[in-house]
């Protein structure tokens, strides 16, 4: 029964290193050989476990990228109370992690969306699906925030979700260039200002 374990271990090693290099250098700028070399594995190993480079990347999306986005951007928000507080905290944590990560190459989902947009429909589909779950999740918490008296009822939840995702993706792209600390600070300040405009005003 240890064969299955070995299989899983090798596949997982390939996926983790693959994601690392794809994330750092981009998909088209990373060869299968690059991954194999840094793991001291052979072509035989790779094509025994995966049908193609594309198939390999799809498996990475499904097993690693989905999990990453869920754990950092979706689960911290799900089912919570005050949308403003929890989204604020979630974004702040994510930006904080990025800031102190020497190996930050941007928002993983955003980078790959950009790289595959209109260039590989199959992969784009998988990535877009993750984005959509994120969006639905934000819309849900905002709607709940209305019932709970946090969010102004006149606010368009979908619009807010779009605006939040857009700004987050953008600032993550900018942060790679450096000056992260300032960018993070500025971004969060304005995010809070924006949130204030959505808040349910006390009727005097």
Q: Which residues bind DNA (CB under 7 A)?
A: 1-4, 6-7, 9-10, 30-34, 40-45, 47-49, 52-54
61 in contact with its own copies (CB under 8 A): no
Closer by beta carbon to DNA, 35 or else 141: 35
Q: Binder to its own copies among 59, 114, 140, 143 (CB under 8 A)? A: 114
Closer by beta carbon to DNA, 122 or else 189: 122
| Pairwise CA distance, residues 159 & 72, whole Å | 22
Q: Is 124 exposed, middle or buried (0-12, 13-18, 19+ CB in 10 A)?
A: middle
**CB of residue 7 to its own copies, shortest distance in Å:** 32
What does 137 bind: its own copies, DNA, none (CB cut-off 5 to 8 Å by kind)? none
Residue 64 sits at the vertex; the CA angle it makes with 26 and 121, to the nearest 5 degrees, is 55
Q: How many residues does the chain have?
A: 204
111 in contact with its own copies (CB under 8 A): yes
**CB of residue 121 to DNA, shortest distance in Å:** 16
φ, ψ for residue 151 (rounded to 5)? -105, 135
């Amino acid at each position: 029964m240890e064969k299955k374990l070995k299989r899983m271990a090798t596949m997982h090693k390939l996926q983790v290193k693959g994601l690392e290099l794809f994330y750092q250098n981009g998909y088209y700028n990373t060869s299968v050989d690059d991954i194999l070399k840094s793991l001291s594995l052979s072509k035989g190993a790779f094509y025994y476990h995966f049908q193609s480079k594309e198939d390999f990347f799809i498996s990475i999306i499904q097993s690693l990228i989905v999990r990453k986005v869920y754990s950092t951007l979706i689960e911290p928000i799900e089912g919570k109370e005050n949308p403003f507080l929890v989204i604020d905290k979630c974004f702040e944590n994510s930006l904080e992690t990025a800031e102190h990560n020497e190996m930050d190459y941007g928002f993983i989902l955003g980078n790959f969306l950009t790289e595959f947009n209109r260039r590989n429909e199959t992969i784009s589909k998988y990535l877009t699906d993750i984005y959509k779950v994120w969006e639905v999740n934000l819309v849900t918490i905002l709607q709940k925030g209305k019932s709970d008296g946090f969010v102004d009822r006149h606010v368009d939840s979908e619009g807010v979700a779009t605006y939040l995702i857009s700004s987050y993706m953008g600032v993550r792209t900018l942060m790679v260039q450096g000056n992260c600390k300032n960018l993070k600070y500025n971004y969060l300040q304005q995010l809070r200002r924006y949130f204030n405009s959505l808040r349910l005003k006390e009727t005097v």
